[in-house]
Amino acid sequence: MAFDFNVILDNWALFARGTWLTIVIAVAAVAAGFLISMPIALMALSHRRTLRWIATAYVEWFRNIPFIVVLYLFFYGLPFFNLRLPEAIVGTIALAFFASSYFAEIIRGAILAVPKGQMEAARAIGMSYFQGLWEIVAPQTVRLLVPPSTNTSISMVKETSVLSAITVAELTYQGLVVQGETFAPFEVFLTTAAVYWVVTAIFAHFMHRAERAFGAAQGAHQARSSLADKYLLIGARRPA
Amino acid sequence: MQMPAKASDAAVLMRSVSKWYGQFQVLKDIDFDVAKGERVVICGPSGSGKSTLIRCLNRLEQYQSGQVVVDGIALTDDARSVDEVRREVGMVFQHFNLFPHLTILENCTLAPMSVRGFSRKAANETAMRYLSRVRISDHAHKYPSQISGGQQQRAAIARSLCMNPKVMLFDEPTSALDPEMVTEVLDTMVGLAEEGMTMICVTHEMGFARRVADRVIFMDRGQIVESAEPSVFFDAPKHARTRLFLSQILH
């Protein structure tokens, strides 16, 4: 038994197309999921019980069922309501909603971590709730959002593989196609695994740089302040 | 308690305001008036409801019954009246609550620009004027964490003044400060009082109360127990609870 590189070389175009589609779906689903999660997070923090209940139900629903089941519900559910869309779009939508439940929890936590006095000060000088949220609270959550969002986003890159179940021609699906033609599953899935690893590693690298950029920008002027530590709940980075 | 002659002379009117946290009643049927230009100091043991009382004046706290009128505007459940009142009422907090991601100058210009619609130039000019007045204009371009606690609290006072408030509320403004920084903040407040600002200060700085207050109020268990001008309040308090409190804090 020898590793047959020809399996990969002969089918590199399929792998490349699958990789590209995986990246496109992951980026679109993460971006859309993040947008959807914002109103959910605000509802979860609302003082209206009904809104809080809706947000909790939403988050619990998506977080407690496997993604493949969510995907099937969208895939068979949308035609049930006479909405027929290409599989890749259906898959992206399903993944966006799935991701949004995780992002909503991350955003909720980050907003809660900003001291209450910040919003009170904003309101006391006459700013509206949304002005306070946007101008005062949101900028202070960015540093808290980046690390957990990175983890969730990487999970979502990996979850795109589930879309193969509804014949979306992403990386895993292409792997299955090549495997069916070559009968060389080990070569195919070792390659597939390596590509996923490279994609997520590159993604993590850029997120980590973003995290350091935010850290450096805020850390520069807060390095010596214990009060800043308290405000941002993260140890201020000290310049060496 | 001295009553203002007519409602228009009152900066603040509170009529039988009551507030509960669950079963616990924090404010018991409070009647409280502050005339325009008057300086009132509120003291009392912790949990007596003094912070809650002033936080009801700009609706940072809700109350279950009673009426509050600030600068002629009745506070109702209507969000517009709340916003209107908040624009006229400045508040200084125990923990400063400066915005850590903005410079001192930006802290001062944000609300005038976004709420009052000032141009950046006009907002900067106003801010620099008030920052000079509280003597921290040199630090205008620093971030809150780069200056001392006393400087931060003076910046917070300047931030409130930039909205040109008619009433200033102070919620234990010196309690979180290192002892050597208390004086600089109190001096700033004395200066403000001398200019005729209507001020309601929750504080245990009795020297400040003697010096600037027109009236000192003692609260205990959600009620106003004693209300008198400083000379009477400190030298001849009527109520036993006030005497006990004063003996505890004046050593």
Distance between CA A121 and CA A132 in Å, rounded?
9
Is the pLDDT reported for residue B112 higher than 50? yes
- DSSP-based three-state secondary structure for A235: coil
Average pLDDT score over residue span B10-19: 94
Q: Six-digit token pair at B64?
A: 């279950």
CB contact under 8 A, B145 and A120: no
- CA dihedral over B155, B176, B59, A133, signed as positive or negative: positive
Question: Average per-residue pLDDT in chain B?
Answer: 92
Query: B126-164 pLDDT, tens per residue?
Result: 999 999 999 999 999 999 999 999 999 999 999 999 999
The answer on pLDDT for A219 being more than 70 is no
pLDDT in tens, A179-196: 999 999 999 999 999 999
pLDDT > 50? residue A237: no
> Nearest CB to B60: which of A115, A120, A221?
A120
A115 touches chain B (CB under 8 A): yes
The token pair that represents A203 in the structure block: 């993604």
- Joined tokens for residue A48: 């209206």
CB B86 to CB A124 under 8 A?
A: yes
Q: How remote is the C-alpha of B47 from its chain's centroid?
A: 17
Token look-up 């530590």 returns A229
Instruction: Please state, in angstroms and rounded to a whole number, the distance separating the CA atoms of residues B69 and B17.
Output: 11
Q: Report chain A's mean pLDDT, rounded to a whole number.
A: 88
User: CB A227 to CB B87 under 8 A?
Assistant: no
pLDDT tens-digit profile of A117-141? Answer: 999 999 999 999 999 999 999 999 9
Residue predicted with more confidence, B239 or A223:
B239
> Which pLDDT belongs to residue A90?
97
Strands in B138-190 per DSSP E = 167-171
Contact A163, A87 (CB under 8 A): yes
Q: A136 to chain B, minimum CA–CA distance in Å?
A: 7
Give me the residue label for tokens 């069916």.
Answer: A180
Q: Give the SS3 label for residue A70.
A: helix
Closest CA to B68 of B83, B58, B79: B58
What is the reported pLDDT for A206? 84
Share of chain A above pLDDT 70, in %: 89
Reported as a single tens digit per residue, the pLDDT across A148-165 is 999 999 999 999 999 999
Put simply, the chain A residues between 22 and 61 with a CB less than 8 A from any chain B CB are none
Nearest CA-CA distance, residue A238 and chain B, Å: 14
Which one of B87, B101, B143 has the shortest CB-CB distance to A126? B87
- The CA distances from residue B155 to A49, A133, A202, B133, B213, in Å, are 38, 22, 44, 10, 23
Percentage of chain B lying above the pLDDT 90 cut: 86
Give per-residue pLDDT as tens, A8-27.
Answer: 899 999 999 999 999 999 99
Q: What are phi and psi of B57, to 5 degrees?
A: -70, -25
CB neighbours of residue B22 within 10 Å: 5
What integer pLDDT is reported at residue A216 of this predicted model? Answer: 60
pLDDT band at A226 (very low <50, low <70, confident <90, very high): very low
**Which candidate in A47, A48, A116, A125 is best for mutational testing of the B interface (most B CBs within 10 A)?**
A125
Q: Which of B101, B114, B147 to mutate to test the interface with A (most CBs of A within 10 A)?
A: B101
Give the pairing of strands B65-70 and B223-228. unpaired
* Whole-number Å distance between alpha carbons of B34 and B56: 14
Residue listed under structure tokens 């509206």: A128
Fold category of A3-234 in CATH = MetI-like fold (1.10.3720)
pLDDT at residue A239 tops 80: no
Query: Which pLDDT score is estimated for A235?
Result: 38
- Do B161 and B173 touch, CB atoms closer than 8 A? no
pLDDT value at position A142?
87
The one-letter amino acid code at A104 reads A
Q: State residue A215's pLDDT score.
A: 66
Average pLDDT rounded to a whole number, residues B37-66: 94
Does residue B1 surpass a pLDDT of 80?
Answer: no
How far from each other are the two terminal CA atoms of chain A, in whole angstroms? 53
Q: How far is residue B25's CA from residue B44's CA, in Å, rounded to a whole number?
A: 16
Strands of the sheet containing B65-70, edge to edge, are: B24-35, B10-21, B65-70, B73-74
Interface residues on B facing A, Cβ-Cβ cutoff 8 A: 58, 60, 83, 86-87, 89-91, 93, 95, 97-101, 110-111, 114-116, 142-146, 149, 156, 159-160, 163
Both tokens of residue B150? 């006393």
ipTM for this prediction: 0.90
Give the closest of B60, B90, B143 to A221, CB-based.
B143
DSSP B172: S
Q: Tell me the helices (H) and strands (E) count for chain A, helix number first.
A: 11, 0
Give the residue extent of every domain in chain A: 3-234
pLDDT digits (tens, 9 = 90+) for B195-211: 999 999 999 999 999 99
